[in-house]
Chains A and B, each alone.
Chain A
Amino acid sequence: MSKSVETFLSSFLPIGGLAAYTVELPNAVLVSECLSKSLYPVSTAQMLTHIVQDGRTLLSSGEQAAQYCWTFEGHRVYVASRTDGVCLALLVENNPSVQMARVQEVLQGFIDLPEV
């Protein structure tokens, strides 16, 4: 993982309710971390990868920076997609105890990071 991403993420973690996260380039995974013991790391990483890729197809041409919220019954996946194509995906539990303000801070901060 790039030093700037590592420093950026470590300045926010831990976040209550965050179950997993991944940082992805358009064609490669930079880092994937499963923080919840109730999830399988491999299937969780695959899910986040799928979601990041599928999300890119929803953007109109010319639109690159975006934030996504994918809602499932048990989890939500928040994705921040930068203009350089690097994405951060956060898998959070679908319950009221999630520190949503922190999640939103991370997403916006990731988009605003000058260089990844």
Chain B
Amino acid sequence: MPEETNKRHEFLFVDDDPQFLATVTQSKQSSKAHWAFRTATNHLQALEELKAQPVEIIVLDIEMPVMDGIEFLRLLRQAHPGQRVVMLSPRVGDEAARKTSMELGAVLYLEKPRTPEGFQCLFAALEALTTTGAQSGFRGVMQVGLHDVLQMECLGRKSSILGVSAGGRKGQIFINNGDIIHAEYGQLQGEMALYGLLGLSGGDFNLLAYTEPSHRTISGQYEFLLMEAARLRDEGSPSSLPQIGSLGSQDLHAALESAPPTEARGVRIEETLLCSSAGEVLHQSKCESLEARLELFQKLEQQMMQASKGTPSGRFHRVSVDTSAHRLLIQIQPTYKLLVRSALSAPTMQP
């Protein structure tokens, strides 16, 4: 996107702390040719700045004397409707402030950075916001922005609910103290819901006040989960099945029923089996011996638990086996087990 890359982006930082503003203006980002940082120490200065020259994004400290960030945000909403504002708060646990900010139209509510890493996160978020307009994508953040916001929530050890909606469907990702603990998307729950949400190509998201989910369905490290989501998105997997992660269980069943042989890609699906964690068969196609396959799931789960005992490798997720003629994928997740065997029409060996 060369046009976007060269476009000039102006930011106005509003904060009564001159040291914070000095850190911002001395940052590496402020020296970027296409980034311009302006500063104001109170709302009056900020309004003067906006009158002189509009900015793309205002970064607003929530705690300021005379008129605090939320009051100023309310004022901005009336005086400059459509102005994108990122709120910064030193007390990220203040859910009431977060909720009010988001209701008043803030595009992001972030922890006020105090460390170089914190500033990096803030600038990454601003960069993501500048890469797309406010009228499409995730309310001004392109699809990858959802991933970034989730990462920031985890890095900051925050507790929140990331609500996502796209195409009339809604989902939620629960983050507790920086850990992704639960996700829901349509009828999906757990990792599959998380991967489905992170695989969406557009929609809206909101950071909501944290409440406990009815149960915990995700226990992995967030770094791994985000990597898996990226991998699945890149591969369109699991195992070349169409957008499996983004479907509800009914849709998933239908997709599996109708998944056509993918001759054009040199792969022909020979066998599929999808089970619930309890071993209930949700879908099967050309599965010669269900009993043997269910035993295989169970055996593999036990074997891998035994194999990784005493190591920091953690939970087993999946195995893929490639020979010159076949590919076998077995995925064992907390909410489902999946086996896909396919035949390759041309000999390939890929790990």
Residue positions of A touching B, CB distance < 8 A: 38-40, 43-44, 46-47, 50-51, 54-55, 58-60, 63, 65-75, 78, 94-96, 103-104, 107-108, 111
Contact = CB atoms under 8 A, between A and B. Distances in A.
A58 B227 contact: no
A66 B321 contact: yes
A96 B316 CA distance: 19
Contact of B312 (A39, A65, A69): A39
A55 B350 CA distance: 16
Nearest to B316: A72
B310 A43 contact: yes
A60 B319 contact: no
B300 A54 contact: yes
A103 B326 contact: no
27 contacts: A43-B310, A47-B307, A50-B306, A54-B300, A54-B307, A55-B321, A63-B325, A65-B323, A66-B322, A67-B321, A67-B351, A68-B322, A69-B320, A72-B313, A72-B314, A72-B315, A73-B220, A73-B313, A73-B314, A74-B314, A75-B312, A78-B351, A95-B223, A95-B227, A103-B351, A107-B351, A111-B349
Contact of A75 (B220, B309, B313, B351): B313
Nearest to B296: A58
> Range of interface residues on chain B?
20 to 34
A73 B318 CA distance: 10
B317 interface: yes
Given A71-B319, A94-B227, A51 B307 contact: yes
A71 B309 CA distance: 15
B328 interface: yes
Contact of A47 (B300, B313, B317, B349): B313
Contacts of B330: 58
Contacts of B310: 40, 43, 46-47
A72 B308 contact: yes
Given A43-B309, A58-B321, A70 B351 contact: no
Nearest to A111: B349
A63 B351 contact: no
Contacts of A38: 312
B78 interface: no
A55 B304 CA distance: 11
B115 interface: no
A39 B311 contact: yes
B303 interface: yes
Contacts of B349: 65, 67, 108, 111
Contacts of B325: 63
B326 A63 contact: yes
B351 A69 contact: yes
B322 A67 contact: yes
B319 A69 contact: yes
Nearest to B314: A73
Given A50-B306, A63-B323, A94-B227, A74 B316 contact: no
B3 to A, nearest CB: 28
B221 A73 contact: yes
Nearest to B302: A54
A74 B321 CA distance: 20
B347 to A, nearest CB: 10
Most buried by A among B312, B313, B351: B313
Given A68-B322, A71-B318, A103-B351, 13 more contacts: A38-B312, A40-B311, A43-B309, A44-B311, A47-B308, A54-B304, A66-B322, A67-B350, A72-B315, A73-B317, A94-B224, A94-B227, A111-B349
Contacts of A46: 307, 310
Contacts of A69: 319-320, 351
B227 A96 contact: yes
Nearest to B318: A71
Closest 8 CB pairs of A and B: A73-B314, A50-B307, A43-B310, A72-B313, A75-B313, A71-B317, A74-B314, A66-B323
B288 to A, nearest CB: 12
A40 B220 CA distance: 22
B328 A58 contact: yes
A74 B225 CA distance: 11
A39 B315 CA distance: 16
A74 B313 contact: yes
Contact of B315 (A44, A73, A107): A73
